[in-house]
Chain A
Amino acid sequence: MRITAPISAPAEVEPLVRAGARELYCGVVPPDWIQRFNTSGVNRRVFGNLNGYADLERVVDKATALDAEVFLVLNAQQYGEQHLDALTEIGARFRGIGGKAAIVADISLIASLAANVPDLDIHVSSVATCRNVESARFFAALGAKRIILPRDVTVAEIAAITQALPELDVEAFVLNDGCVFEEGACHTVHLPMNKGGPICIDNYQFEYQATGGDKPQARALRRLEQNDLDYKRWLWYRFGNGFSVAPNWFPWGPCGLCAMPAMHAAGVHSVKIAGREGASERKIKSVELVARVLERIAAGEAEHAVREFAVGLRDSPSHCASGYMCYYPEVRSRQATGDAEGKLLTAV
Chain B
Amino acid sequence: MTSTEHTSTPDSATRPIELGFALVDERELAAFARHERVTRDDYLDQLGEARDCVTLPDDAEPTHFFLGSEFCEHLLPSVESIDRAVALCERWGLTFGLVTPIACDGLFDPLRAALARLPAGCEVTINDWGVARLVQREFPALRPVAGRLLGKMLKDPRLPSATWARMYPNGLRAGPFRDILDGLGIGRLELDFPPFGAADMYAGIDFPVGVRAPYGYIAKGRICKLGSLSLDTPEKFSPGHQCRRECLGFNEVGARPGTHELHTSQRGNTMYYRHAQGMATAVAEAVNNGWVSRIVLSGA
Contacts and interface: CB of A to CB of B under 8 A. Distances in A.
Contacts of A132: 103-105, 107-108, 128, 130
A134 B219 contact: no
A108 B132 contact: no
B221 A347 contact: no
A347 B160 contact: no
B223 interface: yes
Given A112-B176, A180-B223, A234-B237, A199 B154 contact: no
Question: Which of B158, B218, B228, B237 has the largest number of chain A CB atoms within 10 A?
Answer: B237
A107 B180 CA distance: 8
Contacts of B252: 206-209
Question: Which of B173, B175, B223 has the largest number of chain A CB atoms within 10 A?
Answer: B223
A36 interface: no
A315 interface: no
B240 A157 contact: yes
Contact of B250 (A80, A130, A200, A210): A210
Interface residues of A, number: 88
Contact of B229 (A79, A81, A110, A227): A227
A195 B158 contact: yes
Given A132-B104, A205-B257, A39 B167 contact: yes
Given A132-B105, A157-B240, A227-B229, A188 B154 contact: yes
Contact of B218 (A82, A107, A199, A348): A199
Interface stretch (A17-25, A59-67, A244-252, A326-334): A326-334
A344 B124 CA distance: 31
Contacts of A185: 71, 102, 149, 219-221
A211 B168 contact: no
Contacts, number: 255
Contacts of A207: 252-254
A37 to B, nearest CB: 8
A78 B271 contact: no
Contact of A206 (B106, B169, B177, B253): B253
Nearest to A336: B234
Contacts of A39: 167-168
A230 B238 CA distance: 13
A195 B235 contact: no
B74 interface: yes
Contacts of A295: none
B168 A41 contact: yes
A80 B104 contact: no
Interface in A165-219: 179-182, 184-189, 191, 195-196, 199-200, 202-211, 213, 216
A180 B218 CA distance: 13
Nearest to B179: A111
Question: Which of A134, A209, A228, A332 has the largest number of chain B CB atoms within 10 A?
Answer: A134
Interface in B123-177: 128-134, 149, 152-156, 158-160, 164, 166-171, 173-177
A196 B240 CA distance: 31
Question: Which of B104, B134, B218 has the largest number of chain A CB atoms within 10 A?
Answer: B104
Given A132-B105, A224-B226, 20 more contacts: A41-B168, A79-B171, A80-B171, A106-B152, A132-B130, A135-B129, A138-B129, A138-B132, A152-B223, A152-B239, A185-B102, A188-B155, A188-B158, A199-B219, A204-B256, A205-B257, A230-B228, A230-B237, A329-B234, A345-B241
The 9 closest A-B pairs by CB, nearest first: A134-B130, A135-B130, A80-B169, A347-B106, A323-B234, A78-B152, A206-B252, A206-B254, A111-B176
Interface of A: 38-39, 41, 76-84, 106-112, 129-139, 142, 150, 152-154, 156-157, 160-161, 179-182, 184-189, 191, 195-196, 199-200, 202-211, 213, 216, 220, 223-224, 227-228, 230-231, 234, 321-324, 326, 329-330, 332-333, 336, 345-348
11 contacts: A79-B171, A134-B130, A134-B133, A135-B131, A142-B180, A152-B221, A188-B155, A191-B158, A203-B256, A204-B264, A206-B252
